[in-house]
Amino acid sequence: MEEFLVSARKYRPLTFDTVVGQKALTTTLKNAIASKKLAHAYLFCGPRGVGKTTCARIFAKAINCLSPTSGGDACGQCESCKAFDEGRSMSIHELDAASNNSVEDIRELIKQVQIPPQVGRYKVFIIDEVHMLSASAFNAFLKTLEEPPSNVIFILATTEKHKILPTILSRCQVFDFARITPRDIIAHLQGVAGREGVETQEEALELIAEKADGGMRDALSIFDQMVSFTGGKLSYESVCNNLNVLGTAYYLRMTDLILEKKTTDCMLLFNEILQKGFDGGNFIGGMASHFRDLLLCKDERTITLLERSEQTRTQLRQQAQRCPVKMLYKAIQLCNECDQSYRTSRNKRLQVEVCLILLSQLQEEGDASAGGLRPSHVIKPIFGQQAPGAQPVQVQATTTPATSPSPTPQPAAQQSPQQTDRKAPKLKTISGFGPSLRLQPEKADKATSLPKSPVPKQMHTPLDTDSLRMAWMEIIQKMPREEVAMAQRMRDMQPQVKNADCICITVNNNQVKQELQSLQHRILPFLQKRLGNDFLSIEIEVADTQVTQQFYTKEGIYKLMTEANPTMKLFVEQFKLELD
Ligand SMILES: [Zn+2]
């Protein structure tokens, strides 16, 4: 019966040329052998599964080969090579420092060092995970490393270079192994699949490469798993379901919806993503990377930076053609901001949803600013967008972009009823419930003090908590950059509906209360408009401080400190620190 071998072992490279993705490095090693210029100690560093141990073995075999090829590879025929292949070589020793890290283990090794090789010129010691050696073992080893017998070569391997003592580093020739690029992994997996008779789709392999994060060993073991789960047919769908990775397809779809300004569909798709068990934070991070990829596609020179399959690249390039560069910048920025505040947010889902709303309105903003007609940072109603609110699109359609920025000679405006229609809501936004949070205080005051006669009809929707929280989040998202500290504080406030027309916000102290009051002239009109209630009023209360009770918990101390010094909170968030 044939023994089942995992692909990572079955397809372990046996020559330098079959090592994937480490070309520069293997060339140097081959040259060292060909020119017979060998160092006494080598240190192979790099992430797990990128070929350090494999290269160490190939190198060790080649070092001891009695007749290496002119290219620097082992012949595979001589006595030394045969002994190595059959695992009975007395000249090549391997020690896994992860499990043999005591002084005794090292003493045993040092004893071996003293015995000259029987076959081949050198004794080669491969020490894997060398950073795991205990301090005393390290010290014992250091002596040998300082004065090794001339016929001994050490190959040390580690995933954690920073844990290696400088005294050791300085005695080694250091080789840094890079993560293997997705494209190299895909190509290698395709080769393996061909030999194993497994049907694969390139995008399915791309998912595996993505998940393996540059490690070939991981990629191969995921590949094995997928083959057994899917019965040897690796389609994008099957791998996506089994691996539970959020593939590029989702990001492409979401971006399509954003481009089409289908806010509601964005929400539904996000819901679907959450229901599949994905984390909202990962998703928004993925969106940011996706926009970055689209940005790269904008330029033929940067498109080569995309380590993606051919098909994905084509899809990205097509989508990028529909995205203005400005919009992509803004989108990356929005996602980034959302990503940063996600961890500390109390309502994480809402945080992402607000970001999606803003994203789906970006295009429109871009359209309008090209025409110079609309103020930026206006949140438009999400639902029923196509009804009376879809003015900016008409602006684009009716006036040519070349003439639209100059608003002066427009007698034609009176002629079309559409145009006058467009003016009416514009006036309305200025008088009273202007949603732009950047309105100057004087302007807003003047506006509210206008005689109330032209107001057509007052809105009076009863308040509800969900819409209130949603609107609150939007305000926070819209706060100008210079007020970021206040925005942070507002994020911690939980506005409550007190009665049908009144909301209540509890703050921690009088200082915050004053600050919030100074923002009222911007917040109030926004909430009135957003919640459809012109009678809405805001009450601000200072909480009864229960300092003594809170003081003994870490959260309590943190809260007190951040209240006293709001920049500390920013600091904690910027550096993604956590309460321990
Ligand atoms: Zn040989």
Q: How far is the CA of 97 from the centre of ligand 1 (A)?
A: 28
Note down the domain range covering 372. 246-385
Quick one: 222 and 335 in the same domain?
no
CA of 409 to the centre of ligand 1 (A): 88
Each residue's pLDDT tens digit, 492-512: 787 888 888 888 888 878 888
Q: What's the gap in Å between 69 CA and the centre of ligand 1?
A: 9
> What local confidence, expressed as pLDDT, does residue 236 receive?
86
pLDDT, position 456: 57
Instruction: Give the pLDDT score at 54.
Output: 93
Calpha distance 137→135 (Å, rounded): 5
Which pLDDT value is given to residue 50? 92
More confident residue, 70 or 457: 70
Q: Is the dihedral of CA 19, 24, 29, 31 positive or negative?
A: positive
pLDDT tens, 316-367?
999 999 999 999 999 999 999 999 999 888 899 999 999 999 999 887 654 5
Q: What is the pLDDT of residue 560?
A: 67
**Distance from the CA of 84 to the center of ligand 1, in angstroms?**
9
> How far separated are the first and last CA of the chain, in Å rounded?
54
What distance in angstroms lies between residue 83's CA and the mean position of ligand 1's atoms? 10
345 in the same domain as 271:
yes
Residue 86 alpha carbon to ligand 1 centre in Å: 13
Confidence of residue 553 (pLDDT cuts 50, 70, 90): low
pLDDT digits (tens, 9 = 90+) for 374-384: 334 445 555 44
Give residue 328 CA to ligand 1 midpoint distance, Å.
56
**What spacing in Å lies between the alpha carbon of 460 and ligand 1's midpoint?**
89
pLDDT digits (tens, 9 = 90+) for 512-528: 888 888 888 888 888 88
Q: What is the pLDDT of residue 205?
A: 92
* DSSP calls for 531-552: HTBTT-EEEEEEPPP-HHHHTT
Do 283 and 171 have their domain in common? no
Q: Ligand 1 centroid to 81 CA: how many Å?
A: 4
Q: Let me know whether 522 and 555 are in one domain.
A: no
Co-location of 23 and 123 in the same domain: yes
Q: Which stretch of DSSP H or E encloses residue 380?
A: none
Residue 331 counted as domain residue: yes
Q: Which of 133, 159, 176 is the last residue of a domain?
A: 176
Distance 19 CA to ligand 1 centre (A): 19
Compute the distance between CA of residue 396 and CA of residue 377 in angstroms, rounded to an integer: 19
Q: What is the pLDDT of residue 265?
A: 93
Region 205-226 average pLDDT: 90
Residues 559 and 503 in one domain: no
Overall average pLDDT of the 182-191 stretch: 91
* 419 in any annotated domain: no
Its pTM stands at: 0.55
Top-confidence residue, 290 or 460: 290
Residue 127 confidence class, pLDDT cut points 50, 70, 90: very high
CATH number for the domain that contains residue 156: 3.40.50.300
Gap between the Cα atoms of 58 and 19, Å rounded: 9
Q: Could you tell me if residue 369 is inside a domain?
A: yes
User: What's the pLDDT at 379?
Assistant: 53
Q: Does 15 share its domain with 147?
A: yes
Per-residue confidence (pLDDT) for residue 398, from 0 to 100: 38
Q: Is 390 inside any structural domain?
A: no
Q: What is the pLDDT of residue 552?
A: 55
Tell me the CA–centroid distance for residue 79 and ligand 1, in Å: 7
| d(C-alpha 40, C-alpha 146), whole Å | 10
Q: How far is the CA of 256 from the centre of ligand 1 (A)?
A: 58
Confidence of residue 27 (pLDDT cuts 50, 70, 90): very high
What is residue 190's predicted lDDT score, i.e. its pLDDT? 93
* Domain end call among 369, 385, 401: 385
User: In the block, which residue shows the tokens 């071998």?
Assistant: 5
Q: How confident is the model over 145-168, as pLDDT tens digits? A: 888 888 999 999 999 998 888 888
| CA dist list (Å): 21 to 60, 185, 206, 215, 304 | 20, 8, 16, 10, 17
Is residue 409 a part of any domain in this protein? no
Mean pLDDT estimate for the chain? 79
High-pLDDT (> 90) share of the chain, %: 28
pLDDT in tens, 229-261: 888 888 888 888 788 778 788 999 999 999 999
Choice between 578 and 289, residue whose per-residue pLDDT is larger:
289
Neighbours of ion ligand 1 (CB under 5 A): 65, 74-75, 78, 81
CA dihedral (305, 308, 309, 315) in degrees, to 10, reads: -90
Same domain, 314 and 277: yes
Q: Give yes or no: residues 470 and 504 share one domain.
A: yes
Mean pLDDT along residues 190-219: 90
- Rounded to the nearest angstrom, the distance between the alpha carbon of 57 and the centre of ligand 1 is 13
The DSSP-derived string for 251-301 is HHHHHHHHHTT-HHHHHHHHHHHHHTT--HHHHHHHHHHHHHHHHHHTSTT
Residue 327 resides in a domain? yes
- The reply to whether 569 falls in a domain is yes
Q: What pLDDT is recorded for position 3?
A: 55
142 and 232 share a domain? Answer: no
- The SS3 assignment for 59 reads helix
Q: What is the pLDDT of residues 385-431, one digit of tens each?
A: 444 443 443 434 333 444 444 444 444 444 444 443 443 343 333 33
Give the burial class of 173: count Cβ atoms within 10 A of its Cβ; 0-12 exposed, 13-18 middle, 19 or more buried: middle
CATH number of the domain that 346 lies in?
1.20.272.10
Ligand 1 centre from 38 Cα, in Å?
Answer: 17
Q: Separation of 77 CA from ligand 1 center, angstroms?
A: 5
Look up the CATH number of the domain holding residue 500. 3.30.300.180
* Å from CA of 32 to ligand 1 middle: 16
Residue 129 included in any domain? yes
Contact status, residue 55 vs residue 44, Cβ threshold 8 Å: yes
Phi, psi for residue 428 in degrees, rounded to 5: -60, -40
pLDDT of residue 165: 84
Q: From ligand 1's centre to the CA of 183, what distance in Å?
A: 33
Instruction: Band the pLDDT of 466: cuts 50, 70, 90.
Output: confident
Please compute, for residue 59, the number of CA atoms within 13 A of its CA located in the half-sphere on the CB side: 31
Q: Which two tokens stand for residue 261?
A: 């300004």
pLDDT at 488 over 90: no
What is the amino acid identity at position 82? K
Boundary (domain end) residue, out of 385, 409, 441: 385
Distance CA 113, CA 140 (A): 13
How much distance in Å is there from the Cα of 125 to the middle of ligand 1? 18
Q: Residue 62 Cα, ligand 1 centroid: separation in angstroms?
A: 7
The answer to whether residues 192 and 271 belong to one domain is no
pLDDT of residue 255: 95
pLDDT tens digit sequence for 283-299 = 999 999 999 999 999 88
Q: pLDDT tens across 539-551, in order?
A: 888 876 544 444 4
- Tell me, in angstroms, the distance from the centre of ligand 1 to residue 123's CA: 15
3-state secondary structure of 95: strand
In CATH, what number is assigned to the domain containing residue 209?
1.10.8.60
Residue 483 per-residue DSSP state: G
SS3 at position 125: strand
- Report the distance separating Cα 94 and Cα 125, nearest Å: 6
DSSP category for residue 197: T
Measured in whole angstroms, how far is the alpha carbon of residue 468 from the centre of its chain? 30
Determine the Cα–Cα distance for residues 155 and 167; give it in Å rounded to an integer. Answer: 16
Total domain count for the chain? Answer: 5
Mean pLDDT of 532-538: 85
**From the CA of 121, how far away is ligand 1's center (Å)?**
12
List, in order, residues 6 or more apart from 300 with CB less than 8 Å away: none
pLDDT of residue 499: 81
Same domain, 271 and 359: yes
CA of 94 to the centre of ligand 1 (A): 19
